[in-house]
Protein backbone atom coordinates (compact mmCIF):
# COMPACT_ATOMS: atom_id res chain seq x y z
CA UNK A 1 0.00 0.00 0.00
CA UNK A 2 2.83 2.39 0.85
CA UNK A 3 4.47 1.69 -2.50
CA UNK A 4 1.23 2.47 -4.35
CA UNK A 5 0.88 5.78 -2.53
CA UNK A 6 4.52 6.63 -3.28
CA UNK A 7 4.08 5.80 -6.96
CA UNK A 8 0.83 7.75 -7.17
CA UNK A 9 2.39 10.85 -5.63
CA UNK A 10 5.66 10.73 -7.59
CA UNK A 11 6.07 13.75 -9.84
CA UNK A 12 7.72 13.47 -13.23
CA UNK A 13 9.13 10.22 -14.55
CA UNK A 14 9.16 7.00 -12.64
CA UNK A 15 10.97 3.92 -13.90
CA UNK A 16 9.66 0.59 -12.71
CA UNK A 17 11.73 -2.52 -13.24
CA UNK A 18 11.64 -6.10 -12.04
CA UNK A 19 7.86 -6.17 -11.66
CA UNK A 20 6.04 -9.31 -12.74
CA UNK A 21 4.14 -9.12 -16.03
CA UNK A 22 0.91 -7.18 -15.60
CA UNK A 23 1.82 -5.65 -12.26
CA UNK A 24 3.33 -2.61 -13.96
CA UNK A 25 0.05 -1.99 -15.80
CA UNK A 26 -1.86 -2.37 -12.52
CA UNK A 27 0.45 0.21 -10.91
CA UNK A 28 -0.13 2.63 -13.80
CA UNK A 29 -3.90 2.27 -13.38
CA UNK A 30 -3.65 2.79 -9.63
CA UNK A 31 -1.40 5.82 -10.05
CA UNK A 32 -3.82 7.44 -12.50
CA UNK A 33 -6.82 6.71 -10.27
CA UNK A 34 -5.16 7.93 -7.07
CA UNK A 35 -3.72 11.06 -8.69
CA UNK A 36 -6.93 11.66 -10.62
CA UNK A 37 -4.74 12.60 -13.54
CA UNK A 38 -2.97 11.45 -16.65
CA UNK A 39 -0.33 8.71 -16.68
CA UNK A 40 1.83 7.83 -19.69
CA UNK A 41 2.67 4.11 -19.78
CA UNK A 42 5.58 3.40 -22.15
CA UNK A 43 6.16 -0.12 -23.45
CA UNK A 44 8.91 -1.76 -25.48
CA UNK A 45 6.74 -2.57 -28.52
CA UNK A 46 3.21 -2.72 -29.96
CA UNK A 47 2.46 -6.19 -28.56
CA UNK A 48 3.40 -5.10 -25.04
CA UNK A 49 1.30 -1.94 -25.48
CA UNK A 50 -1.77 -3.96 -26.46
CA UNK A 51 -1.25 -6.30 -23.52
CA UNK A 52 -0.81 -3.36 -21.11
CA UNK A 53 -3.98 -1.63 -22.37
CA UNK A 54 -5.97 -4.84 -21.89
CA UNK A 55 -4.50 -5.37 -18.41
CA UNK A 56 -5.29 -1.81 -17.34
CA UNK A 57 -8.86 -2.17 -18.62
CA UNK A 58 -9.17 -5.41 -16.62
CA UNK A 59 -7.91 -3.94 -13.34
CA UNK A 60 -9.66 -0.57 -13.72
CA UNK A 61 -12.68 -0.93 -16.02
CA UNK A 62 -13.88 2.62 -15.32
CA UNK A 63 -10.54 4.20 -16.19
CA UNK A 64 -10.05 5.76 -19.61
CA UNK A 65 -7.29 3.96 -21.53
CA UNK A 66 -5.96 5.74 -24.61
CA UNK A 67 -3.82 3.86 -27.11
CA UNK A 68 -1.13 5.67 -29.05
CA UNK A 69 0.29 3.18 -31.56
CA UNK A 70 3.40 3.70 -33.63
CA UNK A 71 3.24 4.06 -37.38
CA UNK A 72 3.66 0.83 -39.27
CA UNK A 73 6.11 2.41 -41.75
CA UNK A 74 9.25 4.50 -41.66
CA UNK A 75 8.89 8.32 -41.61
CA UNK A 76 10.27 8.90 -45.13
CA UNK A 77 8.98 5.69 -46.65
CA UNK A 78 6.90 5.80 -49.83
CA UNK A 79 4.06 4.10 -47.98
CA UNK A 80 1.68 5.90 -45.68
CA UNK A 81 0.66 4.50 -42.29
CA UNK A 82 -2.47 2.38 -42.23
CA UNK A 83 -5.59 4.56 -41.88
CA UNK A 84 -6.72 2.80 -38.69
CA UNK A 85 -3.38 3.56 -37.00
CA UNK A 86 -3.57 7.20 -38.08
CA UNK A 87 -7.15 7.37 -36.78
CA UNK A 88 -6.25 5.95 -33.38
CA UNK A 89 -3.27 8.29 -33.03
CA UNK A 90 -5.31 11.36 -34.03
CA UNK A 91 -8.23 10.38 -31.78
CA UNK A 92 -5.86 10.06 -28.83
CA UNK A 93 -4.20 13.38 -29.64
CA UNK A 94 -7.63 15.05 -29.94
CA UNK A 95 -8.67 13.75 -26.50
CA UNK A 96 -5.37 14.91 -25.00
CA UNK A 97 -5.60 18.34 -26.68
CA UNK A 98 -9.03 18.95 -25.16
CA UNK A 99 -8.12 17.72 -21.65
CA UNK A 100 -8.15 20.28 -18.90
CA UNK A 101 -6.69 20.23 -15.41
CA UNK A 102 -9.97 18.90 -14.01
CA UNK A 103 -10.24 16.01 -16.48
CA UNK A 104 -10.85 12.48 -15.28
CA UNK A 105 -8.03 10.02 -14.67
CA UNK A 106 -6.64 8.30 -17.75
CA UNK A 107 -3.69 6.22 -18.92
CA UNK A 108 -2.05 6.67 -22.32
CA UNK A 109 -0.36 3.46 -23.45
CA UNK A 110 2.32 3.83 -26.11
CA UNK A 111 5.29 1.87 -27.37
CA UNK A 112 8.52 3.84 -27.10
CA UNK A 113 8.90 4.20 -30.88
CA UNK A 114 5.44 5.86 -31.08
CA UNK A 115 6.70 8.63 -28.83
CA UNK A 116 9.65 9.28 -31.12
CA UNK A 117 7.40 10.16 -34.05
CA UNK A 118 6.49 13.81 -34.50
CA UNK A 119 2.95 15.01 -33.89
CA UNK A 120 1.18 18.25 -34.85
CA UNK A 121 1.05 21.06 -32.27
CA UNK A 122 -1.69 20.89 -29.64
CA UNK A 123 -3.54 23.93 -31.02
CA UNK A 124 -3.60 22.43 -34.52
CA UNK A 125 -5.10 19.20 -33.18
CA UNK A 126 -7.61 21.08 -31.02
CA UNK A 127 -8.86 23.26 -33.89
CA UNK A 128 -9.02 20.36 -36.38
CA UNK A 129 -11.03 18.05 -34.10
CA UNK A 130 -14.76 17.62 -33.81
CA UNK A 131 -16.24 15.17 -31.33
CA UNK A 132 -19.49 13.66 -32.57
CA UNK A 133 -21.28 10.89 -30.72
CA UNK A 134 -24.15 8.67 -31.76
CA UNK A 135 -27.47 10.22 -30.79
CA UNK A 136 -26.10 13.76 -30.40
CA UNK A 137 -27.27 16.63 -32.57
CA UNK A 138 -24.76 18.86 -34.34
CA UNK A 139 -25.87 22.19 -35.73
CA UNK A 140 -25.73 22.16 -39.52
CA UNK A 141 -23.93 25.50 -39.76
CA UNK A 142 -21.35 24.51 -37.11
CA UNK A 143 -20.59 21.27 -38.96
CA UNK A 144 -20.38 23.07 -42.31
CA UNK A 145 -18.03 25.72 -40.88
CA UNK A 146 -15.83 23.04 -39.32
CA UNK A 147 -15.55 21.12 -42.59
CA UNK A 148 -14.78 24.25 -44.63
CA UNK A 149 -12.13 25.30 -42.09
CA UNK A 150 -10.51 21.87 -42.49
CA UNK A 151 -10.19 21.92 -46.27
CA UNK A 152 -13.56 20.79 -47.58
CA UNK A 153 -15.37 22.86 -50.21
CA UNK A 154 -18.97 23.81 -49.70
CA UNK A 155 -21.15 22.89 -52.67
CA UNK A 156 -24.86 22.84 -53.35
CA UNK A 157 -26.40 19.42 -53.64
CA UNK A 158 -27.63 18.30 -57.07
CA UNK A 159 -31.12 17.74 -55.69
CA UNK A 160 -31.33 21.34 -54.42
CA UNK A 161 -30.12 22.62 -57.79
CA UNK A 162 -32.75 20.57 -59.64
CA UNK A 163 -35.55 21.82 -57.40
CA UNK A 164 -34.55 25.42 -58.07
CA UNK A 165 -34.36 24.90 -61.84
CA UNK A 166 -37.76 23.16 -62.04
CA UNK A 167 -39.40 25.78 -59.84
CA UNK A 168 -38.49 28.62 -62.24
- What's the pTM? 0.74
Domain of 122: which CATH number? 3.40.50.11180
Q: What is the mean pLDDT of each run of 10 residues along the chain (168 residues)?
A: 70 75 89 88 93 95 94 72 85 89 90 89 84 85 86 74 56
pLDDT score recorded for residue 159: 63
The count of domains in the chain is: 1
Q: How far is CA 133 from CA 106, 136, 137, in A?
A: 20, 6, 9
Alpha carbon 106 to chain centroid distance? 11
- Residue 142 domain flag: no
Domain extent, residue 79, equals 2-131
- Residue 28 domain flag: yes
Amino acid sequence: MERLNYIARAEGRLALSGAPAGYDAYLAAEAAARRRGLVLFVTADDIAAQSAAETIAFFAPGLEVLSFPAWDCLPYDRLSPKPDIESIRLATLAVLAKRGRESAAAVVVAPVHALLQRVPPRNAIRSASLLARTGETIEHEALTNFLVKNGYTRARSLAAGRRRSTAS
